[in-house]
Amino acid sequence: MKKIEAIIKPFKLEEVKDALADLGIEGMTVSEVKGFGRQKGHTEIYRGSEYTVDFLPKIKIEVVLGDALLEGALAAIVKAAKTGKIGDGKVFVSPVDEAIRIRTDETGDKAV
């Protein structure tokens, strides 16, 4: 099993979700996150004073899936989330030791 963590532009969430669903991936966890990479922040103004926003809002998608689905899922995410402009985000993959579906006690690939 592998876990994919994809940090993407917020408005790309819908497309990425649909692309993953098309592959038969049945679940994911999504969080609103903030951070910066090469894009850095930008300046805003409030009541006459400028300030820099260092951390930009992004969406983090976490998907745990069987090894067989990994390649397809990665390609789908990258394709759906790409705009070609700076700030598109990153994808991280890591191994997962175990998974348990709480309702049925199923474990392993059957649980994801």
Query: Contact with another protein (CB under 8 A): which of 36, 51, 55, 92?
Result: 51
Residue 31 touching another protein (CB under 8 A): no
Decide: 28 and 20 in contact? Cβ < 8 Å. Answer: yes
Q: Report CA-CA distances (Å) from 18 to 13, 31, 63, 87.
A: 9, 17, 13, 21
Least distance (Å) from another protein to the CB of residue 50? 8
Would you say 43 or 104 has its CB closer to another protein? 43
| In the block, residue with structure tokens 């966890």 | 29
Q: Is 102 in the site for another protein (CB under 8 A)?
A: no
Using CB under 8 A, list all residues that contact another protein: 45-49, 51
